[in-house]
C-alpha cells in the first residue's frame, strides 16, 4: 500500500473465511440467521461500484491534501445541539446531536460518530455522511439521528482535567454510549468512526464483545497497526515532513489552546459526590509532559507521542506508558479484531499516505463479524469523485460537482444495521444503568469505578460549517 496514481477500479471486498450467521428480521415477520457476506452482497451494492477520481485528484497524496485544503463550507450543511458531560475523573466531553429540536420515535436509530485525530463534528468527512443520514426520508435521507462524540479539547470542548485522549483510550466513547442508552433506552446505537476515531471504535467493540452498546460499526481510514503505520509514515520524505509533522503540529496546537488547564498542577479537589479521586502523581506527569511538548520544534508524530501522548493520552491504570512504541503497541486495533462480536465494515484505501498498512486478507482480520473493503484510490478520508459529467478544478467543493464515494456504502451499511439486523444479545445484555444518589449516570456493578457522567451547562446550537477549526490546525486528518 502507499500513494500511487489510481484509475477507476472496483473495490476489493474481503469476507471472513467463515462469516458469522447474523440474526436478522425476516420479511413478513419473524427472525432468522443470515450470512454476513450475503447481507453485504444484498444490502450494500455500492461496495461493488467503481471509485473513479477526477483526473486532477488521481493520487492518494492529492486526495488527502484536497481533504485538508478544500473549502467545504457550502456543502453538507449540518446543525447540532451540543450537550456537555462532566466525567467522574473531572474531564468533559462534548456531544453534538443532530438534527436539533426534532421529534423521533423512541426506537429511532442513533449514529454515534468518532472523529479523526484533532477533528470534531465540523469535519467535512463527518458531515458528508450525517447530512444525508439525518435528512428526512421525504427528502431522500435515512431519517436517523446522530451524535458526534467530540474528544476532550476538540471542537471547542474545554479541557477540565489533566488528560486528553488518544487512539487507545476507549473510556470516553464507552461513557457516551452509556449516557445515550440512559437517555434513549430503546434506540439502537450505530457506530461510525474515522481515522483515529475508527481505531478507538474498533477497540471498544473488541473490549465489549457481545455486550457492546454499539450494534454495529462502519470505520473508515482506520490506522489499525500503529507501529507499522507510524514507521512507514516517518520513513518517507512526504510522510515525515508533511503528514507526520502536520498531525503533530495539530496536537501541539490543541495543547496551546488549553494551556490554562494543563500548565500547572492544581491543588487536589476531589468531588464530594464522587468516590473517584484525581491522581496527583499522574497530574504532575501530564503537566511536565505538556511543557516538554511545547518546547519541541516541528516534531514528527512519534516524538510528540513519546513526549505527551504516552503520558496524557489516557488515565490510570494503563497510562502513563513507557514510550511512544509502547503506546502504539497497546493502542493498535488490528490485534483485537478477533474479539469483535458485532458486525463491522472497515473501508481503507490502498493509496492512503497516512495509513500505509491495512488488512489485505481475511486471515489478517481473523473475525467472522468483520468485512474489510479496500479501494485502489481515495487517499486518507478523501474518496472524491465527480458527481456529474463536469470536470472542474479549484477548492470550493460546492462549485466542483464532487462527492465522496464512501458516503453511499456507509449509508447502506447504516440502513442494514438499523433496519435489518436484530439488536441486542439475549444471553449477553449490557449492564443496567442507574443514576446514583449523587446524580452520576453509571452502570450497575460496573468494573470501572471511575466511569460515570453528569450533564453540565453550556451547550448550544452549532452550525457544523461555521464551527471552524482553530487557527493553525489542519482539517481532514
Which residues neighbour 123 within 8 Å (Cβ) at sequence distance 6 or greater? 115, 116, 194, 475, 476
pLDDT, residue 444, reads 87
pLDDT, residue 264, reads 87
89 catalytic per annotation? no
195 catalytic per annotation? yes
105 by Cβ neighbours in 10 Å (0-12 / 13-18 / 19+) ranks as exposed
pLDDT, residue 273, reads 54
Separation in Å, CA 376 to CA 5, 225, 231, 348: 9, 20, 22, 9
Give the C-alpha separation, 331 to 368, whole Å: 22
352 catalytic per annotation? yes
pLDDT, residue 22, reads 93
Q: How far is CA 255 from the centre of its chain?
A: 20
pLDDT, residue 396, reads 59
Point out the catalytic residue in the list 352, 357, 367, 423: 352
DSSP string, 453-465: EEEES---EEETT
pLDDT, residue 269, reads 54
With b for 16 or more beta-carbon neighbours within 10 A and e for fewer, the 380-393 pattern comes to: bbbbbbbeeeeeee
3-state secondary structure of 341: coil
Point out the catalytic residue in the list 195, 274, 332, 333: 195
> Comparing C-alpha atoms, which of 434, 441, 269, 378 is closest to residue 8?
378
pLDDT, residue 206, reads 97
pLDDT, residue 19, reads 86
pLDDT, residue 462, reads 76
Give the C-alpha separation, 221 to 381, whole Å: 6
Mean pLDDT by 10 residues, the chain (477 residues): 62 90 89 94 95 94 95 93 96 96 91 96 97 95 97 95 97 98 97 98 96 97 97 95 96 96 73 58 93 97 98 95 98 95 96 92 81 96 82 57 94 98 86 92 79 88 67 77
Give the C-alpha separation, 384 to 53, whole Å: 6
pLDDT, residue 28, reads 83
Which residues neighbour 98 within 8 Å (Cβ) at sequence distance 6 or greater? 78, 79, 80, 81, 130, 134, 145, 146, 147, 148, 464
Amino acid at each position: 500500500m502507499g500513494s500511487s496514481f489510481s484509475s477507476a477500479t472496483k473495490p476489493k471486498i474481503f469476507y471472513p473465511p467463515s462469516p458469522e450467521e447474523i440474526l436478522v428480521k425476516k420479511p413478513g415477520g419473524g427472525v432468522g440467521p443470515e450470512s454476513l457476506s450475503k447481507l453485504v452482497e444484498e444490502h450494500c451494492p455500492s461496495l461493488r461500484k467503481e471509485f473513479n477520481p477526477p483526473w486532477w485528484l488521481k493520487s492518494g497524496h492529492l486526495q488527502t491534501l484536497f481533504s485538508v485544503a478544500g473549502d467545504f463550507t457550502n456543502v453538507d450543511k449540518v446543525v447540532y445541539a451540543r450537550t456537555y458531560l462532566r466525567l467522574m475523573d473531572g474531564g468533559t466531553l462534548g456531544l453534538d446531536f443532530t438534527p436539533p429540536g426534532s421529534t423521533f420515535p423512541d426506537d429511532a436509530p442513533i449514529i454515534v460518530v468518532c472523529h479523526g485525530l484533532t477533528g470534531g463534528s465540523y469535519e467535512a468527512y463527518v458531515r458528508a455522511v450525517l447530512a444525508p443520514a439525518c435528512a428526512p426520508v421525504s427528502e431522500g435521507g435515512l431519517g436517523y439521528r446522530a451524535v458526534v462524540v467530540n474528544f476532550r479539547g476538540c471542537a471547542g470542548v474545554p479541557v477540565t482535567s489533566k488528560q486528553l485522549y488518544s487512539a487507545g483510550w476507549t473510556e470516553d466513547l464507552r461513557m457516551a454510549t452509556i449516557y445515550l442508552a440512559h437517555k434513549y433506552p430503546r434506540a439502537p446505537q450505530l457506530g461510525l468512526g474515522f481515522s483515529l476515531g475508527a481505531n478507538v471504535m474498533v477497540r471498544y467493540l473488541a473490549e465489549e464483545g457481545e455486550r457492546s452498546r454499539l450494534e454495529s460499526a462502519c470505520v473508515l481510514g482506520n490506522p489499525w497497526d500503529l507501529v507499522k503505520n507510524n514507521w512507514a509514515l516517518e520513513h518517507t520524505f512526504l510522510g515525515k515532513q508533511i503528514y507526520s509533522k502536520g498531525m503533530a503540529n495539530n496536537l501541539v496546537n490543541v495543547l496551546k489552546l488549553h494551556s490554562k488547564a494543563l500548565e500547572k498542577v492544581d491543588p487536589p479537589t476531589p468531588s464530594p459526590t464522587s468516590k473517584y479521586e484525581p491522581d496527583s502523581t499522574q497530574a504532575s506527569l501530564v503537566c511536565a509532559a505538556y511543557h516538554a511538548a511545547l518546547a519541541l520544534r516541528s516534531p514528527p508524530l512519534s516524538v510528540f507521542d513519546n513526549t505527551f501522548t504516552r503520558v496524557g493520552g489516557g488515565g490510570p491504570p494503563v497510562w502513563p506508558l513507557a514510550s511512544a512504541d509502547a503506546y502504539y503497541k497497546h493502542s493498535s486495533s488490528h490485534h483485537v479484531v478477533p474479539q469483535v462480536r458485532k458486525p463491522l465494515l472497515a473501508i481503507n484505501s490502498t493509496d492512503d499516505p497516512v495509513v500505509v498498512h491495512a488488512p489485505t486478507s481475511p486471515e489478517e482480520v481473523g473475525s467472522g463479524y468483520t468485512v474489510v473493503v479496500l479501494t485502489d484510490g481515495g487517499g486518507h478520508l478523501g474518496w472524491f469523485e465527480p458527481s456529474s459529467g463536469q470536470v472542474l478544478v479549484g477548492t470550493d467543493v460546492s462549485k466542483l460537482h464532487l462527492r465522496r464515494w464512501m458516503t453511499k456504502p456507509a449509508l447502506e451499511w447504516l440502513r442494514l444495521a438499523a433496519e435489518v439486523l436484530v439488536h441486542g444479545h439475549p444471553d449477553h445484555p449490557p449492564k443496567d444503568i442507574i443514576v446514583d444518589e449523587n446524580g452520576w449516570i453509571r452502570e450497575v456493578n460496573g468494573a470501572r469505578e471511575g466511569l460515570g457522567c453528569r450533564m453540565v451547562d453550556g451547550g448550544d446550537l452549532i452550525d457544523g460549517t461555521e464551527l471552524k477549526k482553530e487557527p493553525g490546525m489542519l482539517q481532514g486528518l
